[in-house]
Structure 1
Amino acid sequence: MTVLATLLLVACGKQDDTVHVKLGVVGEKNKQWEYVRDQLKEKENIDLELLKFTEYRQPIVALEDGSIDLHSALTEIYMDQMNEEGGYSNTTIAYTTLNPMGIFSNKIDDVKDLADGATVALPDDVSNESRALLLLQTAGLIKLDPSKGNLPSHTDITSNPKNLQFKIMASNQTARVLDDVDISLINNDMAADAGLVPTKDAIFLEPIADSSKPYYNVIAARKDEVDNETYQTIVKYFQTEEVAKIIDEESNGSSVPVWDKK
């Protein structure tokens, strides 16, 4: 073997030592993952590529078809619902944050001021519509059929004293229609992408309680790869005090780390 061939083999071997992982996220603001990416590159020779999606179903499908290796963008209840509907195998390997949903308005400052017949924007997917309706119930605006548990729909409203009118739309549209409705139920990350700070701008924010666990955000892999050592290393680098501080600073306290909660 020539010296040149030997050098080429050595060079190729070094390149092959780098592990490439594609992680799906939703939204533009991902400073915590950018920090983790840099740490993994420096200390573990893991090349973590962030692929940004604009709505929640896309990373589920991308994980299933192999376009990405992991995603970190979804609540567990939403992922489980999409798995059931689509026959997917997206599986939780770790928890990340609780990102409370908020009620936002450009027209009123308090839910108590909502007029009769007011228009309300709701996200259209099953788990987020349910979450929004439960939040409206917590705010005292409607009552729901308790037998529906965590997954009521607007057809399960049993009391609507203000005769609220519902406009159901894609989650990534709920922040865009604030000028066209009286209130809008907006997911935390969609609010952030619209320049809203839930803890400051929401007129009513989802409380954190034991009942919040279905809405914990997850890191997910395909079912047959949950024990992948590289993926577990990525989890370890994410679930740190440094990342928790970044999350707190970037979200103004609107996003709460939950990996230490049981």
Structure 2
Amino acid sequence: MKRRTAPLATSALALSLALTACGSGSGGDGPDDTLVVGATAVPAGEVLTYIKDNLAEKAGLRLEIQEFTDYVVPNTALQEGTLDANLYQNKPYLDDFNQAKGTDLVPVVDAYLPPMGVYSKKVKDVTELADGATVAVPNDTTNEGRALKLLAAQGVITLKKDAGTDASPADITANPKKLTFKELDPAQLPRSLDDLDAAVINNNYAQDAGLSPTKDAVLLESAKDNPYANILAVKRGNEDDPRVGKLVQLLKSADVRKFIEDKYQGSVLPVTTA
């Protein structure tokens, strides 16, 4: 199985958006001090849209949201200056991306936790998976490791004691059901469920496909000690941009916390308060 450090772009539209979006640069001192933020549609785009429509004006923030359908272009666009910030990824993914791509991006705040889940149209519990069942996992390093750790936490497999966030099938030391692992682009996982026994799917792609993490997942991550909160990220050197600071405070606000709790009903979990 060929394993990629990060998935390729899944839509020409995402690339087009990245190339045509007009980033305003750092500092907010020019004629256009709009903060341009890249995001996946769910939940990041929805959270940012709530902020834009309800909170930004009062806070003195002009916000533009550029939506993407993959995990690569929002970071390359941020590095190149097309975006001022992005919101969609966790820190382990960002660290891996920086190392693999030579980018210099940094987190500024944890925004919310989108728990990863196992989904299946054939079983109601992961313990019901048949011997030799095929389970698909994301094919980028950190999300694959995250998926395997979720299965290991439930006792479906056992990983090496020193397996980190970049765990792969090579780190499996016990596989009692002799499961076959299939590595797929994260965006492809929901569309492939009919052909699989189960798939471990990122929260945003599950919700995009109409799956409810709290209702449809046969196994869902716990929030306790979970390192995979989604982060607002910027290019190094822009951490003190006053526009970014305003967005950070809004993301940490009680209003945004309530929005997340009310809208997602446990499918996305708030992690910060003002």
Match of 1:173 in 2: 188
2:252 corresponds to 1:239: yes
Question: Following superposition of structure 1 onto structure 2, how do residues 62-73 of structure 1 map, counting pairs within 5 Å?
Answer: 62-73=77-88
1:201 CA drift (Å): 0.7
Match of 1:20 in 2: 34
- The one-letter code matched in structure 2 to 1:247 is I
Question: Following superposition of structure 1 onto structure 2, how do residues 129-208 of structure 1 map, counting pairs within 5 Å?
Answer: 129-208=144-223
Number of aligned residue pairs: give it.
244
- Listed one character per residue, the Cα deviations across residues 156-201 of structure 1 (whole Å, up to 9, x for unaligned) are 1111111101110111111111111000000111111111110111
- Listed one character per residue, the Cα deviations across residues 36-93 of structure 1 (whole Å, up to 9, x for unaligned) are 1124552244321111111112211110011111001001110111011111111111
1:31 CA drift (Å): 2.6
- Listed one character per residue, the Cα deviations across residues 230-250 of structure 1 (whole Å, up to 9, x for unaligned) are 110111122111111211222
Match of 1:115 in 2: 130
% identity of equivalent residues: 38
Q: Distance in 2 between matches of 1:23 and 1:253?
A: 25
If you compute each CA radius of gyration, which structure gives the higher value, 1 or 2? 1
Q: Distance in 2 between matches of 1:149 and 1:46?
A: 39
TM-score normalised over the length of structure 2? 0.85
Q: Distance in 1 between matches of 2:271 and 2:42?
A: 22
1:28 CA drift (Å): 4.8
Q: Distance in 1 between matches of 2:197 and 2:160?
A: 24
- Counterpart contact for 2:257–2:272, Cα < 8 Å: no
Which shows bigger deviation, 117-126 or 145-154?
A: 145-154
- Counterpart contact for 2:36–2:84, Cα < 8 Å: yes
TM-score normalised over the length of structure 1? 0.88
Which shows bigger deviation, 46-55 or 23-32?
A: 23-32
- Counterpart contact for 2:111–2:270, Cα < 8 Å: yes
Question: SS in structure 1 opposite 2:87?
Answer: strand
Q: Distance in 1 between matches of 2:137 and 2:182?
A: 6
Which shows bigger deviation, 32-41 or 20-29?
A: 32-41
1:257 CA drift (Å): 1.2
Match of 1:254 in 2: 267
Match of 2:115 in 1: 100
Aligned CA RMSD, in angstroms, stands at: 1.6
Structure 2 residue ranges without an equivalent (≥5): 1-29
Moved over 4 A (4+): none
Choose between structure 1 and 2: higher helix proportion: 1
Structure 1 residue ranges without an equivalent (≥5): 1-15
Give 1:225's match in structure 2, choosing from 238, 246, 258.
Answer: 238
